[in-house]
Amino acid sequence: MARRRQIYEGKAKILYEGPEPGTIIQYFKDDATAFNAEKKGTINGKGVINNRISEYIFTRLSHIGIPTHFIRRLNMREQLVRQVEIIPLEVVVRNVAAGSLSKRLGIEEGELLPHTLIEYCLKDDALGDPKVSEEEIACFNWCSHEEMQDMSSMAIRINDFLCGLFSAIDIRLIDFKLEFGRIWDGDYSRTILADEISPDGCRLWDINTGEKLDKDRFRRDMGGESEAYQEVARRLGLLQNDDSGPGEVLDMNAHRGRLRTPSKPKK
């Protein structure tokens, strides 16, 4: 097999040159970071689970008309995606107060926000991915006004869809982050969803117990990170309750009992 050329390595993924022009192979790692990479570790099997979850969500989003970079999953840890020019902003969608919002504004974690809040952060690890305003985005031309409109409208649609998707499996979508990219056709560019959607970039709480099923378990030294990620995949139907999981996920079941399965709906 010919050696693939590595294009980029980030905190959670490695990007390789794709088999055809305009494509990229996205490899999901088990590496975990928090607090702008000040805390580092490994969540066993995370890359396998995130690959499956992100594939599922991106496929479902494409069915409701959200354009994405996803083409297909290649294997347990890799996806084939379209090559895009990443817009240097993270779009953070918040439904419930948590994390930095609670800390910054002194709002109790878990408090329902009056309406969905959209924030923008500059993608710059050296600066700690600072929150930026729409005026600053326009001033420094990080994206155009049209791209801002596209990102915000897609973010709202994605939030509506994901809230329903997760609520159906007894999971509350607290907040999540999105990344977008540009694809070019001559002088014309189009904004599409990129990166991934997984428990790495979402806060997901069990509706009945409030148990955290996301990377906050790693951030806050709660333990049970692998089991939480697998529980999300299982509720989405990507793993069966009696399935030991694909390959590298086999050893993630040792403490399955720590996490509650969703209760059956009342008739």
CATH code assigned at 33: 3.30.200.20
Q: What pLDDT score was predicted for residue 241?
A: 56
**Same-domain status, 60 and 131:** no
List average pLDDT for each run of 10 residues in the chain, which is 267 residues long. Answer: 82 96 97 87 96 98 98 98 98 97 96 97 94 97 97 98 98 98 92 98 98 97 96 94 45 38 40
DSSP state of 256: G
Residue 48 lies in a domain: yes
10 Å CB burial of residue 106 (0-12, 13-18, 19+) is: exposed
Domain with 92, as residue range(s), is 86-206
**Same-domain status, 114 and 151:** yes
Q: Pick the last residue of a domain from 206, 234, 258.
A: 206
**Same-domain status, 38 and 114:** no
Enumerate the H helices of the chain as residue ranges.
46-63, 99-105, 134-139, 145-167, 216-219, 225-235
Q: What pLDDT score was predicted for residue 37?
A: 76
**Same-domain status, 72 and 155:** no
**Same-domain status, 166 and 200:** yes
Residue 172 lies in a domain: yes
Residue 96 lies in a domain: yes
**Same-domain status, 66 and 104:** no
Q: How many domains does the chain have?
A: 2
**Same-domain status, 101 and 196:** yes
Q: What pLDDT score was predicted for residue 35?
A: 84
Residue with tokens 């999981």: 245
* Residue 95, phi then psi, degrees to nearest 5: -110, -30
pTM over 0.75: yes
| Bridge partners (DSSP) listed for residue 93 | 118, 176
Helix, strand, coil: what percent of the chain each, to 5? 30, 30, 35
Question: Cα separation of 46 and 221, whole Å?
Answer: 16
**Same-domain status, 90 and 201:** yes
